[in-house]
Amino acid sequence: VLDGWRGISILLVMATHLIWLGPKSWQLNLTAGPMGMALFFTLSGFLITNFLLHNSSVTDFLIRRIARIIPLAWLFLIIVLPITDASPESWRAHMLFYANWPPMQTGSITSHFWSLCIEMQFYFGVALLFLIFKKRGLLLLPALCIAFTLFRVINGVHIGVATYFRIDEILAGATLALVYNDKLGRSFKNVITKFNPWLLLLLFFVSSHPASEFLNYFRPYLASLLVGWTLLNENSRLSIWLHNRTLAYIGAISYALYVIHPVFIQTWLGSGDGWSKYAKRPLYFAVTFLLAHLSTFYYENRCIALGKRISEKIRGQSASPGDKVGRGPKER
């Protein structure tokens, strides 16, 4: 189910950037993007919190996250920032993942990098919270989610790229993980299963549309409810459809697709006006998917495997000799 949602999220994001979805007055391109990112952040918050609920090692968590995000992100930056003649401060802001804080340092090719900044800031923030309060600290995440949404309401920000105007989407996913693991009581699960998924989908679409204004504040919660419903109703038609192999494959290469897809906007593949530009889109997508496939399976997966080996080695060194006595070969 999560792989299916991940595939849908990246398709929505790529569609909003690369495809004409309808007349400008309908604002469908401005709707698909927020929908895709809300799902992306919900999945991230859910998976990170779920990992920490079942793994108490902050070191293990950070090493795995760094191995997942940084290798491709830094490779992308090393290629594109010299092309854009970025300043030293812009280099620092991008490489250290604070480019989405005022004054914004993202450029035309790195305009999507704001989301990776939020991701990395959340990783280190939740790791610090976990380090101080242990697993009990995760119970603070729902309150933080509501607090950041109220902060958006007070400032009248329906959608933003600064961390303090967008992190409630990740925190809503984190809250879903707590509900899914019965950390907030079983009653919440029962409430989620009673929703009509198609009504949730409609409301999610409306809450992502610019014209809905105030309803945009509910977007993080509707995305989480929708994902949560499919997790808790695994035999439903919607959940079964989300197991589609094509969506699973797209979900598997989704991170690479997200990082790579803006690169060719400034090239011949992205040039032209009107239909001459969109006629090149099939080739644009083909090249992007090919590069994402190669990146995922021949570069990122090796970096992830290296991160796991480093993490396991550190865990092995930190274990006391007595911990290893009496273990079987597989456990050892």
Q: CA 273, CA 68: separation in Å to the nearest integer?
A: 37
Global pTM value: 0.92
* Residue-wise pLDDT tens digits, 232-253: 999 999 999 999 999 999 999 9
212: Cα separation from own chain's centroid: 24
CB atoms under 10 Å from CB of 273, counted, come to: 7
Distance in angstroms (rounded) separating the CA atoms of residues 162 and 223: 20
Judge whether 84 and 238 are in contact, CB under 8 Å. Answer: no
What is the structure's pLDDT at 140?
A: 97
C-alpha distance across the termini of the chain, in Å: 33
Assess whether the previous peptide bond of 103 is cis (omega < 30° from 0): yes
> What was the pLDDT predicted at 307?
94
Q: How many CB atoms lie within 10 A of CB 121?
A: 18
Which two tokens mark 104?
A: 């914004």
- From the number of C-beta atoms within 10 Å of its C-beta (0-12, 13-18, 19+), residue 275 rates as exposed
Low-confidence ranges of the chain (pLDDT < 70): 318-332
Tell me how far apart the alpha carbons of residues 263 and 85 are, in angstroms, rounded to a whole number.
15
Q: What is the pLDDT of residue 319?
A: 61
pLDDT tens for 292-317 read: 999 999 999 999 999 999 999 888 87
Which pLDDT score, from 0 to 100, does residue 329 have? Answer: 38
Short-list 45, 296, 20, 310, CA closest to 180: 45
Closest CA relative to residue 277, chosen from 292, 264, 263: 264
The pLDDT score that the predictor gives to residue 26 is: 95
pLDDT of 272: 85
Q: What pLDDT is attached to residue 212? A: 95
The whole-number pLDDT of residue 327 equals 43
